[in-house]
Amino acid sequence: MSEEAPKIKLIMELRRRGITDQRVLGAMERVPRELFVPHLFSDQAFDDTALPIDCGQTISQPFVVAYMTQMLAVGDRMKVLEIGTGSGYQTAILAALSRRTYTIERYRPLMIDAERRFKELKISNITTRVGDGLKGWPEQAPFDRIIITAAAEEWPVEICNQLKIGGLMIMPIGKTSTDQKLVRIERTEEDFDVTDLIPVRFVPLVEGVAREN
């Protein structure tokens, strides 16, 4: 089997499951997921499954990354905020589709590793911050798109208010890991329209910056 075969198989699986946006599929094909998974799991880099990374976090299942990105409908002139950098894989996908992606991570070791990967891949349109994701990035607001890759019990109004009018946000909502669902939130002139999407399972969205040992 060639080195490209597992990636081709994954892209075909994503198409079968309803990922039709060619820009999203192209980004998934170009970004080398094997650079974002721990060496121990490198043989599973193109399996359609979530994998553990450092600090008790995970790199999301490729289908979930593709689905969230497709539902976010990122244009190439858009400014995007990501809360929960993790390995940086979703960040790299967003950067391939947007004008600039801002990303916040509460674990400094994860951000250091993600920044190293961005540098290795020569991705220059990502701005990073170690900080409290629940506060968003108000000095860079408003954003065209926001994606949150950890689950909250309810959608955070402070972050929603950093969307442009007409902007979209995708995030998981749920009190426990077994009752989470993705929601898409659109900011309108008067309010926010919330649409339920698919069931998911994410790590919880935690307030504050992680303490360093």
Residues in the chain predicted with pLDDT less than 70, given as ranges, are 1-3, 212-213
Contact 171, 148 (CB under 8 A): yes
pLDDT of residue 128: 98
pLDDT of residue 207: 81
pLDDT of residue 3: 63
pTM of the model: 0.94
pLDDT of residue 182: 96
Instruction: Decide if 2 is catalytic.
Output: no
The C-alpha atoms of residue 207 and residue 106 are separated, in whole angstroms, by: 9
Q: Among the options 60, 87, 124, 177, which is catalytic?
A: 60
The C-alpha atoms of residue 55 and residue 111 are separated, in whole angstroms, by: 11
Q: Give the strand order in the sheet containing 163-173.
A: 126-130, 100-105, 79-83, 143-148, 163-173, 181-187, 192-199
pLDDT of residue 2: 60
pLDDT of residue 155: 83
The burial class, CB within 10 Å (0-12 / 13-18 / 19+), for 154 is exposed
pLDDT of residue 177: 72
Q: Provide the residue ranges of all domains of the chain, joining segments of one domain with +.
A: 5-199
Would you tell me which CATH number, out of the four given (1.10.287.3510, 3.40.50.720, 3.40.50.150, 3.40.1710.10), belongs to the domain 5-199? 3.40.50.150
